[in-house]
């Protein structure tokens, strides 16, 4: 990849990043640093994605920056009962969250309890009507392509604004194969006259090459003008350094983390 190509990909990808810290030992000082990083010399990222306990801090620090505040619920295992998840989401929005990343109850889905999984999505949607709702399918745990396809359709039917691959907390996270399936579902719904739905790969996306590969699939399936922060996000912690290095004409080490 030439420097010019890397810089062009980085310029597209940087405003799509949900800059993430979901480490178990995350502290307020880490959130302060994350929020500072979110506003770069090349422009702001799309959002920060953080634990619910830090939403108020991030919302205050980022006010007026253009960076949105995203948080996670039913995270990471996807096994919390629906009433508690709904209250978690409602409290996060009250604290200032703009976006909710909900882990679909994927084990219930695999066990044949699809109604339970869809009900949880619809109830969180109803509780937070003004928040952007991203539903995490945990595609690496679903495994089978047909199950990923079915879960994507179910999440969208339940009210998801975005479908997201992964938590970043399991063995297999974002993959190009899962992206192809999920973006195909989005394209099918759009072709049939349905509403626009976004896509978020997350977990293990660390390099400009990684970002470029996902963007290429979206361009091929949905057209080169479809990708924007309204429709496409990268969930990552290590990717930003690589993007900034490419934009500055430097070579970045592979980023670590989510």
- Whether residue 253 is predicted with pLDDT greater than 70 in this model: the reply is no
Q: Is residue 255 part of a domain?
A: no
Active-site residue identified among 98, 161, 200, 241? 200
**CATH number of the domain within which 9 lies:** 3.20.20.70
Strand-by-strand arrangement of the 47-50 sheet: 198-200, 162-164, 132-136, 99-103, 68-73, 47-50, 17-21, 234-236
Q: Is residue 258 part of a domain?
A: no
- Whether residue 30 is predicted with pLDDT greater than 80 in this model: the reply is yes
Q: Do the beta carbons of residue 207 and residue 178 sit within 8 Å?
A: no
Q: Known catalytic residue: 209?
A: no
Active-site residue identified among 18, 98, 101, 161? 101
The total number of structural domains in the chain stands at: 1
Q: Is residue 256 part of a domain?
A: no
- Whether residue 69 is predicted with pLDDT greater than 50 in this model: the reply is yes
Residues in the chain: 258
Q: Is residue 59 part of a domain?
A: yes
Per-residue confidence (pLDDT) for residue 60, from 0 to 100: 98
Q: Is residue 254 part of a domain?
A: no
- Tens digits of per-residue pLDDT, 80-107? 999 999 999 999 999 999 999 999 999 9
Q: Is residue 120 part of a domain?
A: yes
Torsion sign, CA atoms 236, 174, 132, 102: negative
Distance CA 220, CA 131 (A): 29
pTM of the predicted structure, to 2 decimals: 0.95
**Please, which pLDDT band fits residue 228 given cuts at 50, 70 and 90?**
very high
Q: Do the beta carbons of residue 72 and residue 53 sit within 8 Å?
A: no
Active-site residue identified among 18, 161, 164, 210? 164
Q: Is residue 7 part of a domain?
A: yes
- Tens digits of per-residue pLDDT, 145-194? 999 999 999 999 999 999 999 999 999 999 999 999 999 999 999 999 99
Domain enclosing residue 36, as ranges? 3-247
Q: Known catalytic residue: 250?
A: no
Q: Known catalytic residue: 101?
A: yes
- Whether residue 256 is predicted with pLDDT greater than 60 in this model: the reply is no
């Amino acid at each position: 990849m030439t420097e010019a190509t890397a810089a062009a990909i980085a310029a597209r990808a940087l405003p799509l990043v949900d800059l993430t810290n979901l480490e178990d030992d995350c502290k307020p000082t880490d959130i302060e640093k994350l929020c500072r990083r979110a506003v770069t010399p090349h422009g702001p990222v799309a959002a920060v994605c953080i634990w619910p306990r830090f939403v108020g801090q991030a919302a205050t620090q980022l006010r007026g920056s253009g960076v949105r505040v995203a948080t996670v619920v039913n995270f990471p295992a996807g096994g919390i009962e629906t009433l508690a998840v709904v209250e978690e989401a409602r409290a996060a929005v009250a604290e200032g969250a703009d976006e909710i990343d909900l882990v679909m109850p994927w084990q219930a889905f695999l066990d044949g309890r699809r109604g339970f999984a869809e009900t949880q999505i619809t109830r969180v949607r109803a509780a937070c009507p003004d928040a952007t709702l991203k539903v995490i399918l945990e595609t690496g745990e679903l495994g089978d392509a047909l199950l990923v396809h079915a879960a994507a359709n179910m999440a969208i039917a339940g009210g998801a604004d975005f479908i997201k691959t992964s938590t970043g907390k399991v063995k297999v996270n974002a993959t190009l194969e899962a992206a192809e399936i999920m973006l195909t579902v989005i394209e099918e719904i759009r072709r049939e006259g349905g509403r626009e739905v976004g896509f978020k790969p997350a977990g293990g996306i660390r390099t400009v090459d990684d970002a470029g590969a996902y963007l290429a699939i979206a361009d091929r399936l949905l057209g080169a003008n479809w990708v924007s922060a309204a429709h496409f996000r990268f969930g990552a912690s290590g990717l930003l350094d690589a993007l900034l290095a490419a934009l500055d004409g430097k070579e970045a080490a592979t980023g670590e983390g989510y």
